[in-house]
Amino acid sequence: MKRTEMISSVVKEVSNEMYEYLLSGMDWMSAEVIVNGGAVQVYIHEVPAACEIADVQVIVLHDDNEHNSPLLEDAIIKALPDWYDMKHSMEREGVLTA
């Protein structure tokens, strides 16, 4: 699987999970996506603050446990939808109440 295909696959699955977590009224989420040669773990939570901040952590785990992928992790973070953008979009659509 090519890098762009893998990122798209992870983003699609995490986006679906994000929607379900928001629909359940959660202010955090965690997801694990199994990919070729390992897994991608994503953790997102709302940070209590005067403005809307979501902390996003992505960890790429390789089957051999010897590789690190900070550039891939960063690329996945940048490709993920914004937590608050999705939340507000769902509120505008009437799926969530504000």
Instruction: Look at residue 98 and tell me whether its pLDDT is greater than 80.
Output: no
Domain boundaries, the chain: 3-92
Instruction: Report CA-CA distances (Å) from 77 to 2, 13, 67, 72.
Output: 17, 13, 19, 9
32-56 pLDDT tens trace: 999 988 999 999 999 999 999 999 9
**Listed range (6-10, 18-22, 66-70, 88-92) with the worst mean pLDDT:** 66-70
Q: Does the pLDDT value for residue 4 go beyond 90?
A: yes
- pTM score of the predicted model: 0.92
